[in-house]
Amino acid sequence: MTLVVQKYGGSSVSDAEAIRRVAKRIVDTKRLGHNVVVVVSAMGDTTDDLLDLAGSITDHAPDREMDMLLSAGERISMALLAMAVNELGVPAMSYTGQQAGVRTDNHFGKASIVSMVPERIARSIQDGNVAIVAGFQGVDDQEDVTTLGRGGSDTTAVALAASLHADVCEIYTDVDGLFTADPRIAPNAKRIRTIDYESTLEMAANGAKILHLRAVEFARRYHVPLHVRSSFSEKEGTWISDKPANPALKGIVPQSALNYYPQEDTVEGPIISGIAHDRSQDKITLVGVPDKPGSAAHIFEIIAAAGANIDMIVQNVSTIQKGATDLTVTMPHDDAKATVAALEAAKGEIGFAAVVHTGNVGKLSLVGAGMRTNPGVSAKLFGALSEAGINIDMISTSEIRLSVLVSLDQLDDAVRAVHTAFGLDASETEAVVYGGTGR
């Protein structure tokens, strides 16, 4: 028998009506003959409301207590959802992270899953129940409640799907799947029907907000097929996997997922998955860094000590000083201030001329296979930006991604220009965007 894990985010269970709609979908899936395990987030604004309550008490809430507080949110949504499914005549039981066997380390607020032992869930579905599990939470080895941090519910769902050997993990959200670009920016953006894990990772890491990096990494490691789709429509979503879907899933996954074989080596030219963008980065440039051994190592030690996650790195000949270089890095806005302060403090020691901090940057990433081996891709990208009058600030590449930094106020134009240049805004009957579907 097939097992379908479904994950519903907060916007899918925002009120009683939404919960009833989700219950209907769960029951429909169950009645198609699939076993169903559901992972649910807290209702709509619950988490924000709880954070506000905590904020009205203290600015220094202990992390352990904050996790205890926030974990109440999923209890409410999961119990209500179980009631709603029961109301439709299908037995359902809700389970906390602890009951579902989600064991984590003790990093409250951003815990990592260390083991999954979902014995009760396996028994529950064998007994014919829909098992409804709290997302985002687990317990540490002291039985203390922990939360998994951002993307935690997606991660719970993927981890459960992996340990239960589910045929698919459906991630329900408020859009129809992954798109070739953000439809709010590029109105002609199309749904990606099938995509591999690596390209999805690059999309997620570079600003596409639908899926969390962490959940995709988990899915990739354990080969969990993901289906990202909308809880507000019956439309097909995006199939993310390295293999075709179990034929028994016909009717609940995209048709193209059933005969999907992503095999990059058989592909002649580059196949573009889509365009991700990111507004959350700051740029920090060290001007006139002495061009001597050890300078760069010293600088990156300081940045690491400041706790910053570096994204892009570029080094050039200095604009102001002979025999020196300019070194530019990008990092999340929230990390930048402390990093700049740490670098300023080390200025004399390292001997650079100045630190220049620019907040106003946007990053555009073109994601797809065959990127590096095909020089035409970068030429086309730079040409499109140039024609649109957009200056490129920095460039960074990976095997399947090409990112450029542009001025923040030109980012939307850049996304549209590149989307058009790569033929992504074709009509509804466009060619397949990524990898061997349709064969």
CA 261 to chain centre: 23
Q: Which is closer to its own copies, CB of 48 or CB of 87?
A: 87
Residue 197: enclosing H or E segment and its boundaries? Answer: helix 197-205
Min dist. Cβ of residue 76 to its own copies (A): 5
Residue 365 neighbours by CB distance under 10 Å: 23
State which of residues 32, 51, 76, 338 lies at the interface with its own copies (CB under 8 A). 76
Residue from 94, 199, 328, 330 that binds its own copies (CB under 8 A)? 94
| Phi, psi (deg, nearest 5) at residue 337 | -60, -50
Q: Classify burial at 267, counting beta carbons within 10 Å of its beta carbon; exposed 0-12, middle 13-18, buried 19 or more.
A: middle
Taking the alpha carbons of 425, 426, 429, 433 in that order, is the dihedral positive or negative? negative
Contact pick of 24, 31, 48, 87 for its own copies (by CB under 8 A): 87
Binding residue (CB under 8 A) for its own copies from 36, 40, 80, 371: 80
Bridge partners of 147, per DSSP, are 137
Q: Are residues 341 and 333 in contact, defined by beta-carbon separation less than 8 angstroms?
A: no
Q: Closest distance between its own copies and the C-beta of residue 232, in Å?
A: 19
Q: Confirm or reject binding of residue 106 to its own copies (CB under 8 A).
A: no
Residues 1-30 that bind its own copies (CB under 8 A): 16, 19-20
Could you give the CA distance from residue 166 to residue 37 in angstroms, rounded to a whole number? 9
How far apart CA 30 and CA 22 sit, in angstroms, is: 12
268 binds its own copies (CB under 8 A): no
Helix axes 46-57, 63-87, angle to 10 degrees: 150
Residue 334 assigned as binding residue = no
Cβ distance to its own copies smaller for residue 87 or 344: 87
Query: Applying CB under 8 A, which part among 33-41, 92-100, 256-264, 336-344 lies near its own copies?
Result: 92-100
Q: CA distances (Å), 408 to each of 355, 361, 383, 390, 391, in order?
A: 20, 5, 19, 11, 11
Near its own copies by CB under 8 A: residue from 79, 302, 313, 395: 79
Cα separation of 188 and 183, whole Å? 7
Interaction between residue 84 and its own copies (CB under 8 A): yes
Cβ at position 77, least distance to its own copies in Å: 9
- For its own copies, the binding residue among 3, 4, 5, 69 (CB under 8 A) is 69
**8 Å CB contact between 189 and 181:** yes
Cβ atoms of 192 and 175 closer than 8 Å: no
Number of residues that bind its own copies (CB under 8 A): 38
| 72/388 with CB nearer its own copies | 72
Any known ligand binding at 190? no
| φ, ψ of residue 288 in degrees (nearest 5) | 65, 50
Q: Is 9 annotated as a binding residue?
A: yes
Determine, following the binding rule CB under 8 A, whether residue 78 of this chain makes contact with its own copies: yes
Say if residue 8 carries a ligand binding annotation: yes
In the shown chain, the binding pattern of residues 119 to 158 toward its own copies, with x for contact by CB under 8 A and - for none, equals: ------------------------xxx-------------
Q: Is 29 annotated as a binding residue?
A: no
Degrees, nearest 5: CA angle 153-156-162: 145
Give contact residues for its own copies (rule: CB under 8 A).
16, 19-20, 50, 53-54, 56-58, 60-62, 64-66, 68-69, 71-73, 75-76, 78-80, 82-84, 86-87, 93-94, 96, 98-99, 143-145
Could you list the residues known to form a binding site for substrate, using ranges. 47, 74
The annotation places the binding site for ATP at 7-10, 173-174, 184
Binding annotation? 7-10, 47, 74, 173-174, 184
